[in-house]
Amino acid sequence: TPVIELAGGRKTYRSGSIEFEALRGVDLRIDRGEYVAIMGPSGSGKSTLMNVLGCLDVLTTGEYRLAGNDVGELDEIDLATLRNEEIGFVFQQFHLLPSLSAWRNVELPLMYRGTQRAERKERASAALERVGLGDRLENRPGELSGGQQQRVAVARALVGEPALILADEPTGNLDTVSTEDVLALFDELHAQGRTIVLITHEPEVAERARRVVRVRDGVIQSDGPASALHDD
């Protein structure tokens, strides 16, 4: 079953009389359990595509279905609910709340859904154990290394069992060792059947995915197995 079905996706930005087409007809299907990297140079439309896939922004024309839901038909509230239930986000800057402990950060997607406190704590603890931070439940982000903070963010992305994990330059702020930790974690999650879409401009990161989609000037330039990355 497809998690992502994007057909004829176009996105036009307007400021005054100036228009710019950041996505110029993108077709993309991603099935459950795939691990896909989206690559492209700066200005190619990666952030725009990420925002569309993440239901943070809507297409100007075209159709986007996430886990079978026609995103264009949803109002803001239903879109926010869909985003919370079906997508776990991981960002370059971690986006953790500094005043909250690790488990309090991780439980946030469950709070939004109204899950009871005891279950939230249990699931947040299990998610932190899964990323190797079972002994850091009560630590605040400032007491953790960059790599540990990103693993907290991955735990938060996982806790609600979303259809899709959407990671935007997740290793962009990490050193080599922490980058490897996070990529090893994605390998494990992929092996466990999770669907992962990773946006990156780093070839060493992209080649860890199974499939690489290259974007350029708002269109998909190539789409194929990561093993073909070195062929051009």
Using an 8 Å Cβ cutoff, are 125 and 138 in contact?
A: no
How is 124-141 classified by DSSP, letter by letter? HHHHHHHTT-TT-TT--G
Beta-carbon contacts of residue 14 (< 8 Å; ≥ 6 apart): 20
Closest distance of CB 50 from ligand ADP, Å: 7
Question: Does residue 150 contact residue 133 with C-beta atoms inside 8 Å?
Answer: no
- Comparing CB distances to ligand ADP, the nearer of 18 and 77 is 18
Establish if 17 lies at the interface with ligand ADP (CB under 6 A).
no
Task: With H, G, I as helix, E, B as strand and everything else as coil, classify residue 192.
Answer: coil
- In whole angstroms, how close is the CB of 4 to ligand ADP at the nearest point? 17
171 counts as binding ligand ADP under rule CB under 6 A: no
Interacting stretch for ligand ADP, rule CB under 6 A, among 15-23, 106-114, 122-130, 190-198? Answer: 15-23
Query: Is residue 221 close enough to count as binding ligand ADP by CB under 6 A?
Result: no
Helices 117-130 and 146-158: angle between axes, nearest 10 degrees: 130
From residue 7, give the alpha-carbon distance in Å to each of 66, 99, 209: 12, 41, 23
Longest Cα–Cα distance of the chain, Å, equals 55
Decide whether 42 or 176 has the Cβ nearer to ligand ADP.
42
Name which of 22 and 155 has its Cβ closer to ligand ADP.
22
Q: Are 46 and 144 contacting, i.e. CB atoms less than 8 angstroms apart?
A: no
Closer to ligand ADP by CB, 46 or 120: give it: 46
Q: Is 212 in the site for ligand ADP (CB under 6 A)?
A: no
State the binding string over 45-84 for ligand ADP (x if CB under 6 A, else -): xxxx------------------------------------
Q: Answer yes or no whether residue 20 interacts with ligand ADP by CB under 6 A.
A: yes
Q: For ligand ADP, which stretch binds (CB under 6 A), given 39-47, 72-80, 96-104, 147-155?
A: 39-47
Q: In Å, how far are 32, 126, 140, 156 from 159, measured between CA atoms?
A: 18, 8, 18, 5
Q: List the one residue out of 76, 141, 52 whose CA is nearest residue 61.
A: 52
Supply the minimum distance, in Å, between the C-beta of residue 49 and ligand ADP: 7
Question: Toward ligand ADP, which CB reaches closer, 13 or 117?
Answer: 13
Of the candidate spans 36-44, 102-110, 117-125, 138-146, the one that interacts with ligand ADP by CB under 6 A turns out to be 36-44
**How many other C-beta atoms lie within 10 A of the C-beta of residue 205?**
22
Residues found near ligand ADP in the complex (CB under 6 A)? 13, 15, 20, 22, 40, 42-48
